[in-house]
Chain A
Amino acid sequence: MDLFSKFDDLIAERAAVLGNGGADPFELVMDEVVSATEAVVDGRPIILAGTYNYMGMTFDPDVIAAGHDALDRFGSGTTGSRVLNGTYAGHKLLEQRLADFYGTAHAMVFSTGYQANLGICSTLAGKGDYILLDADCHASIYDGCAMGSADIVRFRHNNAEDLARRLRRLPAEAGKLVVLEGVYSMLGDRAPLADLVRVAKDAGAMVLVDEAHAMGFIGERGRGVTEAEGVEDQVDFIVGTFSKSVGTVGGYCVSNHPKFEVLRLVCRPYMFTASLPPSVVATAAESIRLIQTRGADKRQQLWDNSRRLHGALSAAGFQLGTERPESAIIAVVLPDLETAIAMWQALLDAGVYVNVARPPATPFGMVLLRCSLCAAHRPDQIDAIVAAFLHAAEAAKLDLSGTRRADAAE
């Protein structure tokens, strides 16, 4: 028995979709990256409109200089766990920067955002406890739940009433963790956190909010939807990543819980992996400092870009993931995978890179072409993205006059 037999359907589907000789959207190679918004693929310049590089920090001269300096002084890697030889001065400085940014007592840095969710979700809730998670939560949250021993209860997306109903069914004395996201990455929609957090707190639950797609530009200080909705004092844990607005790689959790530091001794995805390299740590720390002290203009530019793209695609007749721009993610909803891949290829030919998103990552069986905007996008680049979408829709014969929606269970 070949262990790979279970993947045969996927292999066949992929071959069928790629049969027309196009590039594979899941195996694109960036030969050169010129700036936060431009790369070279197959010798041709393309506009990057699907990188989560929201604040455009990846080529900031101060960020690069900080990375160079740390690389020279501390070497290429730590070769060790945070709990052994892998905590350098830079790691502690980065945690202090995060605590300053959020105004929290504690901050804990993980090697990736995925591992932050994996570690926190699997460790906080144990046997006999309950995790209640939004149906549209990211795979890292689901995987963290699967790794732990708590009972996992899923509630309907962004539905406070549905959460309340499920909380009421649980034993009053059981430990409960409600896991939410500030912005959901597939459709770019925002959570009604004030309502959800109130329901969770009324039931005596602790609350974790993943702000991966909101940190940097939502809320007055860029702390995320938690800040924008005025619930910072009620959210127990904020999880985030350095691989989006911060512009490098890594993950974190911040909290005011008085016993938070014990997690460093019990959280396996924190302990049993090598810590981030010094250069990555230094770029993250500098980037966070810059977002905190000089982020206001970029926030404004990013929101202008988001409104410009959403407005133009909406006016052109595309069905979008949200009625209004709620974040820096603008998702175009398509009828099927074939159309999405044909359009993705046409977009690339026209010099624009976006993401293909498909089930099971997407809700309701939706197939999406997802744009994520950058503060560094110029207005003419946004216009070029719109023009490329119109060209791609024509190439793929997408009907823009009436829209269809691929719901899984109608």
Chain B
Amino acid sequence: MSDPTPTSPDTPAAPPTADEIYRRICALIEPFNKKGVAVTPQTTFAGDLDLDSLNVMDLVAAIEDEFDIILPINRLPDLETVQQVADEVASILKG
């Protein structure tokens, strides 16, 4: 840990497109989708997917690792739908 600069050699030079971000998030949601809900951009985590606060935070950890970002859990109250999370991830990736 002598070099504190974030380095991830595997990250491609071009940031993922909005569509790709959405698809990758959908894939991460699947293990949490116990009710087998058909996920759309408008699907909500608490309501449609019936995730409790711990499930949501575990999903956030998976999203953080997928995109090598930090998504602080204090911002979660504003992120109710899959599309809102995808937009937030896109915005974080842009910096």
Residues of A within 8 A of B (CB): 130, 135, 145-146, 150-156, 162, 164-166, 168-170, 172, 199, 202-204, 359-360, 363, 365, 408-410
B contact residues around A360 at 8 Å (CB): 52-54
Answer yes or no: B21 CB below 8 A from chain A CBs: no
Closest B residue, CB atoms, query A169:
B70
Given A168-B4, A203-B4, is A363 in contact with B74 using a C-beta cutoff of 8 Å?
no
Within the assembled complex, what's the spacing in Å between the Cα atoms of A169 and B6?
6
Within the assembled complex, what's the spacing in Å between the Cα atoms of A360 and B52?
8
Which of the 9-residue segments B37-45, B57-65, B81-89 touches chain A?
Answer: B57-65
Query: In terms of DSSP, what is the predominant structure of the interface of chain B?
Result: helix
Closest A residue, CB atoms, query B74:
A152
B: number of interface residues (CB 8 Å): 23
Within the assembled complex, what's the spacing in Å between the Cα atoms of A360 and B64?
22
Besides the contacts A135-B58, A168-B1, A359-B54, what 15 more A-B pairs have beta carbons closer than 8 Å? A130-B70, A130-B72, A146-B74, A151-B70, A156-B61, A168-B6, A170-B70, A172-B5, A204-B4, A360-B53, A360-B54, A365-B54, A408-B52, A408-B55, A409-B58
B58 near A408 (CB under 8 angstroms)?
yes
A363 near B54 (CB under 8 angstroms)?
yes
A contact residues around B75 at 8 Å (CB): 151
A contact residues around B31 at 8 Å (CB): 409-410
Closest B residue, CB atoms, query A133:
B73
B1 near A203 (CB under 8 angstroms)?
yes
A166 near B70 (CB under 8 angstroms)?
yes
Within the assembled complex, what's the spacing in Å between the Cα atoms of A107 and B48?
47
B54 near A151 (CB under 8 angstroms)?
no
24 A-B pairs (CB sep. < 8 Å): A130-B70, A135-B61, A145-B74, A151-B74, A151-B75, A152-B73, A154-B57, A154-B60, A155-B61, A156-B61, A164-B1, A165-B65, A166-B64, A166-B70, A169-B69, A169-B70, A170-B70, A199-B1, A203-B4, A204-B4, A360-B53, A363-B54, A409-B31, A410-B31
